[in-house]
């Protein structure tokens, strides 16, 4: 069984209980990590608190140098780490390399630069306004992007001068261990980065409530985010939350319908649909609706479901049996409420592994469960609309506001509709994801932003010095 990383050393947990890490494609146990305890959190928080004063005083150039070296090692080991991610969470190997590993390396390198270039002082009249690291940060991360979500928190926190206690998801924790090894090798000072594996209700809650933690940054479900925020409120610590989504892909009548549907299906099914920002609702004008359904079904049937290490695989398994059961329940619920299943379904495509066929629903009406709730699987709902105003109304009519898309005949029209969507980011005519732009949500999709300068600002306090 692996160990915890606390105070710059690998150390045994206070508990000898293991958590089994399962390969979702084969259902075989591939590793074991400790089921950490509140005592482990206590030790990690104490180590982070001891390390904070000296780390916060290091120069931005020195912090940036260490982060840059870590980014370099991450790139060097990208193929190995991608294989690890393909094994413990099921992402197809090519995706695990490009998106799950090399993109986090890019983000880490960006914070190596921002550590030094981001301004920390400004003058406002007779005041000098300075920005200082907030302190000890608890980072609680999910399994769907097991390295990217860690880097989105840890990199800006370290760049800001904070120290970190990380709890990765116990479902897919192995990439976190690879990153801890990299930080150790580049010489990050003891206690600056700590890793405590374990379950959310035990380790995560202990971190969120700990009095020595100044900020908690959480990515996961909206329900769990509410619990984290409630625990953090007891000690009035800062909270950053990146939560669920039910994003709308609005296709206007003058758009390139075939392209919009093709890209929209791909976005919904990427990472087996286990993406909080997935465009899981496709909104199409009624006159084009039947053709859009036909195109979506055709696209869905081209997605091969299978072994993450097979080059022809487009969709790997869901991360666990529990996740598969959740998705199956939603597919059944969609049919029970009157939506029309036009592709996929609940049949297992393989005897072993937690697989679900890419699934498409037509005749989906606003208010249906599959139209309102985050499914977190390869399930697409097509919703007809009559007017542009109605499309905007449907797109905005969920409790979420994380992402979305607009397709239009002109960029000007696309931007006009995008501005009306109550969501944190919108792709216009296929605008690609930008890892330097702020990422985060409106409404119950979260609080705060990650990535780029906005992500760094989350970990800084503001002080006014009157002169």
Q: Tell me which residues are annotated as active site.
A: 242, 276
Closest CA to 41 of 138, 181, 179: 138
User: Phi and psi of 103, rounded to 5°?
Assistant: -65, -45
Q: Residue 34: in which H helix or E strand, if any?
A: strand 28-34
Sign of the CA dihedral with 400 first, then 146, 207, and 72 last: negative
User: Phi and psi of 2, rounded to 5°?
Assistant: -70, 170
Closest CA to 34 of 11, 52, 66: 11
Contact 155, 165 (CB under 8 A): no
Exposure class string for 391-424: b at 16+ Cβ within 10 A, else e: bbebbbebebbbbbbbbbeeeebbeebbebbbbb
> Widest CA span of the chain, in angstroms?
72
Q: What does 53-97 look like in DSSP terms, one character per residue? A: HHHHHS-HHHHHHHHHHHHHHHHHTHHHHHHHHHHHT---HHHHH
DSSP H helices in 200-313:
205-209, 222-233, 257-269, 289-300
Coil, strand or helix: which one is 323? helix
CA 277/CA 267 separation, integer angstroms: 9
Exposure class string for 307-327: b at 16+ Cβ within 10 A, else e: bbeeeebbbbbbbbeebbeeb
CA 285/CA 276 separation, integer angstroms: 25
CA 90/CA 86 separation, integer angstroms: 5
* Bridging pattern class, strands 127-133 and 460-466: antiparallel
* Phi-psi group of 197: left, alpha or beta (phi > 0 → left; psi -120 to 50 → alpha; rest → beta): beta
Distances (CA, A) of 183 to 40, 45, 167, 365: 20, 18, 16, 49
Tokens linked to 204: 């995560």
């Amino acid at each position: 069984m692996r160990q915890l990383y606390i105070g710059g050393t690998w150390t045994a947990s206070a508990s000898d209980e293991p958590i089994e890490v399962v390969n979702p494609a084969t259902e075989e146990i591939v590793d074991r990590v400790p089921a950490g305890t509140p005592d482990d959190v206590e030790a990690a928080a104490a180590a982070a608190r001891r390390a904070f004063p000296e780390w916060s005083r290091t120069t931005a150039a020195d912090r940036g140098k260490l982060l840059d070296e870590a980014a370099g090692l991450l790139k060097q080991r990208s193929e190995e780490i991608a294989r690890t991610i393909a094994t413990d969470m099921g992402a197809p190997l090519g995706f695990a390399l490009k998106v799950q590993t090399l993109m986090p390396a890019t983000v880490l390198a960006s914070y190596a630069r921002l550590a030094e270039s981001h301004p920390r002082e400004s003058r406002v009249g007779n005041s000098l306004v300075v920005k200082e690291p907030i302190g000890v940060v608890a980072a609680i991360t999910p399994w769907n992007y097991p390295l990217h979500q860690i880097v989105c928190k840890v990199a800006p926190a370290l760049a800001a001068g904070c120290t970190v206690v990380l709890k990765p998801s116990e479902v897919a924790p192995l990439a976190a261990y690879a990153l801890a090894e990299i930080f150790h090798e580049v010489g990050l000072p003891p206690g600056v980065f700590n890793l405590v594996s374990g379950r959310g209700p035990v380790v995560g809650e202990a971190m969120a409530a700990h009095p020595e933690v100044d900020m908690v940054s959480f990515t996961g479900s909206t329900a769990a985010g509410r619990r984290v925020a409630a625990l953090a409120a007891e000690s009035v610590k800062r909270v950053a939350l990146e939560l669920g989504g039910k994003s709308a892909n609005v296709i206007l009548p003058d758009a390139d319908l075939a392209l919009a549907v093709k890209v929209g299906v791909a976005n919904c099914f990427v990472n087996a649909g286990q993406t909080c920002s997935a465009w899981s609702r496709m909104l199409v004008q009624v006159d084009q609706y039947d053709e859009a359904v036909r195109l979506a079904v055709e696209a869905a049937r081209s997605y091969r479901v299978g072994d993450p290490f097979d080059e022809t695989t487009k969709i790997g398994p869901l991360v666990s049996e529990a996740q598969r059961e959740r998705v199956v329940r939603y597919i059944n619920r969609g049919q029970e409420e009157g939506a029309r299943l036009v592709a996929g379904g609940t049949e297992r495509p393989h005897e072993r592994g937690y697989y679900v066929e890419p699934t498409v629903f037509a005749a989906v009406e606003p208010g249906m469960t599959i139209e309102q709730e985050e499914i977190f699987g390869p399930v697409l709902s097509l919703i007809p609309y009559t007017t542009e105003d109605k499309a905007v109304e449907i797109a905005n009519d969920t409790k979420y506001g994380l992402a979305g898309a607009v397709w239009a005949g002109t960029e000007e029209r696309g931007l006009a509709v995008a501005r009306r969507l109550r969501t944190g980011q919108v792709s216009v005519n296929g605008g690609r994801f930008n890892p330097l732009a702020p990422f985060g949500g409106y409404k119950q999709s979260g609080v705060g932003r990650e990535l780029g300068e906005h992500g760094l600002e989350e970990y800084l306090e503001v002080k006014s010095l009157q002169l």
